[in-house]
Every structure is written in C-alpha cells, then in structure tokens.
Amino acid sequence: MKMFLRRLWRNFCLMLGNQHSLTLYFLPLLQRLWPGFLPGKYRAHLLTKQWQTTDMLQLTFKVSGRWPGFIAGQHLLLTIHHNGRYSSRPFSICSPVSLWQSQRQIQLCCKINHAGEITPLLQQLQSGAVVNISAAQGNFYWQQPATPAVFVAAGSGITPIAAMLLSQRHWLAAVTLYYRVRGTENAALLSELQQLAARQPLFTLALSDSRTEPAETLQQQLCTDSYNKQFYLCGPAAFMQQLRLVLSQSGVKPASIQQEQFGLTMPTASEHASATKQLTASFIRAGISTEVTLSTQHSLLQNAEQQGLAPRFGCRIGVCLQCVCDKVSGQVRDIRSGVLSGHGAEQIQLCVSQPVTALVIKL
C-alpha cells in the first residue's frame, strides 16, 4: 500500500512538473530563497579554518539542525559549488560526537592536494561560506568498546579514529593507538590525542615515525600483542593491505579487523589474465554511442574521461555512488574486492569497475 502510494505520488510529480519530486521542479525558486539549498543534502556554514599540519586543514562547520547526526568513525560527502559546477568528495568526521550534540558543530580534517579539484577550494573558503553535506555514512565504527582494541592510523587515516577515541565517554578496556606519521610535525590532531592519553589511563598513544622506524618494527609490535584483540585500521590502501596480511598470518581472525580505506589501488595488468586482451566498449551518452578501445589498467571512469566523455562522478573511490551507470552487457571487475560482475544488464559504479570483456554502457 505504501509502495503503491509512493509510486502514485511519483507519477503525480512527473505529470505536473516532469520531475521525480516537486522539490526538483521548484528548485530554481527554492535556491533563490535559500542559497545553497540542494535536495537530499544539508547545509553547513564554515566557522573556522585551522592548519593542523602543513597540508592538513581542519574545518569547523555549523551544520543544519535537520542533519541526522553520526556515529564516530563515519564519513560524509562534502559538496562544493564552484565555477558553476557541483563537486563532491568524502571526508571523515574527526570531531567527537559531543561537539555535534552540544553545539551542532562538526570538524573535518582535509588533506589539501594542490593538484586536486576540490581540496584547494577548501583552502579558499571564507568563514560563513555555505557548503552542502550528505548524511553520515559508512560502517567503520568502534563496535565492541568492552574488548581490548588496537587502533592503527597512518597519515590522514587518523581522522575517523580520532573521532572514535575522542567520543568515547566510558572506557571499559585497554586501547592502544599506533599512529604512523612522517615526522611528528606532520601528525594531525596530535595535541588532542596526547591530552586524552594524559587523562585516560586505559588509553596508550604510540607514535611511529616512518622516517626513522621501518614498517616491519610496527608490524612486529602489532603481532606480538594481537591475542584476543579487535583491530581498527585506517590509512592508505597499500599500507593496510600489507598490515592485514601480516596480522592474518599471525593468527588474527578476519572478523576482528575493521578497516576504512582512503584511495584505490589499481590491480596491475599482470594480476588478471584478461588484461592482455584488447577490449572495446560502446559508451552511450545522451543517445549517442561512442566506440572506444579500453585500457584494462584503468577504471571505466578514467577510460571514459580519456575519450573526452565526462561522465558524472563524485568521490572516485566507490563511496558516493554518483557515477552509477547502467551496464547493458559485458563483464566488469570490482577494483576494491576483485569480484566479477555478471554479463547482463545491471548497475555498476564506473570509478571502481575495471573492464573484463567488451562492454556496452549507458553513461
């Protein structure tokens, strides 16, 4: 019944305004009344900007009262309107939940990549500027606070882990944070974590400087002390892959390892037999079909962009689902998991799909 009513309403909106919702029909008017209004998103005002390190910028936002909140460790999509274009990227929330509960404020720690599209713009944002945020998402959070836990953060991977630790009110078990950075001057959120370590006897902070300490030392430390512990890992993909391998070799169950990934590592051509073949694809955009030769070393999004097709995209790491497209036929591989798709029609994410066979895709 509810489904039926929803479909009826959708058809009614389509009839009246040729849009799936009346909000979309009235969007030009609504955006005049509330600058920065975007359906399905929430508004956030920038309060302050502060450099945590030379390339990590901490942004404090006052978020809309409608924003449904978050679990420490989750991320959100930040959407910026610049030069006529909406662009989104995922960022982990680094502030404790209490800050949001008491003052409706959240903090994001963003690594500024000067060659990127979004992060240099964050640097230019003035206080009071309005951006859009999505609801919080992701399932990287502190699942069993009563079990002893080991947190491992590398570089900007500290952001969700800092939120988890700083949000914790009742400490029930011993927790160690291994924080791997390139020199302590590049350790974001360090003073907050040091204060926590000073005030909370169950929490130990262990800094690991990648300039002086080889990765093996850290791995050994983790393995000697791994019995019956929960592991939470966050950092670059290659770093975590290695760590996971070492931990599972020393007998840690996969179920005891939680991780959040930043960035994608593209499997190299030699890993897959199909990569040696020349593949072709038809990308159908706005009714026009373009035949292209695919590079199996790149994602379909990169392939399409190399042909000048400019499909819609967001985070480029499989989080935001903005690049979802209809695959008409052919097989793709999920870059993150290596799982193969079916051969028939289905929806795929361009940014994390690698071609396996010839493809027909509606962009």
Partner 1 sequence: MKLSTEQFTALQHELDSVKQQVQTQLGEADARYIRRVLLLQRLSALSGRILLVLGFITPWLWLAGVLLLALAKILDNMEIGHNVLHGQYDWMNDPVLHSKRFEWDIACDAASWQRTHNFEHHTYTNIIGKDRDFGYGLLRLSNDFRWRLRNLWQGGTYLLLSMLFQWGVSYHELAAQRVFFGKKKADRHTQVSDSELKRAFFGKGARQLIKDYLFFPLIAGPMWLWVLSGNLLANLLRNVWTSTVIFCGHFTKEVYAFRPEDCENESRGQWYYRQMLGSSNFTGPTWLHILTGHLSCQIEHHLFPDIPARHYPAMAKQVQAIAAKYGIPYNSGSFVRQYSTVFLRIMRYSLPGGNRATAPGQLQQSGPV
Which residues here bind partner 1, judged by CB under 8 A?
A: 11, 14-16, 18-19, 24-29, 31-32, 38-40, 83-87, 284-289, 310, 312, 322, 363
Provide the token pair at 143. 């699942």
Alpha carbon 218 to chain centroid, angstroms: 25
Packing angle, helices 190-199 and 158-167, rounded to 10: 30
Its sign, for the CA torsion 4, 5, 9, 15, is positive
**290 or 295: CB nearest partner 1:** 290
Give me the long-range contacts of 167-171 (CB less than 8 A, separation at least 24).
Answer: 167/72, 167/96, 167/97, 167/98, 168/72, 168/142, 169/98, 170/145, 171/145, 171/200, 171/202, 171/203
- Which CB, 40 or 69, lies closer to partner 1? 40
Only one residue has tokens 């952001």, namely: 159
Interatomic CA distance for residues 71 and 137, integer angstroms? 9
Q: Which is nearer to partner 1, 18 or 212 (CB)?
A: 18
197 touches 205 (CB < 8 A): yes
Q: How far apart are CA 351 and CA 339, in angstroms?
A: 15
Please report how close the Cβ of residue 124 comes to partner 1 at its closest, in angstroms. Answer: 14
Residue 85 or 170 having the CB closest to partner 1: 85
Tell me the two tokens of residue 46. Answer: 């920038």
Pick between residue 273 and residue 288 the one whose CB is nearest to partner 1: 288
| Tokens (6 digits) for 7 | 């479909």
**What dihedral do alpha carbons 14, 16, 17, 20 form, nearest 10°?**
-30
Min separation Cβ 286 and partner 1, Å: 4
CB of 26 to partner 1, least distance (A): 7
Task: Between 69 and 116, name the residue whose CB sits nearer to partner 1.
Answer: 116
Distances (CA, A) of 355 to 222, 310, 348, 358: 37, 18, 11, 7
CB of 220 to partner 1, least distance (A): 47
Nearer to partner 1, 15 or 255 (CB): 15
CB-nearer residue toward partner 1: 200 or 307 = 307
Shortest distance in whole angstroms from residue 49 CB to partner 1 = 23
Q: Looking at beta carbons only, is 230 or 349 nearer to partner 1? A: 349
Q: In whole angstroms, what is the distance from residue 305 CA to residue 117 CA?
A: 15
CB of 72 to partner 1, least distance (A): 30
Three-state DSSP at 216 gives helix
Residue 27 beta carbon to partner 1: minimum distance, rounded to whole angstroms: 6
Name the minimum Å distance from CB 83 to partner 1.
Answer: 4
Residue 345 C-beta: closest distance to partner 1, Å:
11
Residue 293: phi, psi to the nearest 5?
Answer: -95, 130
Place of tokens 């070393």: 297
Residues in the chain: 363
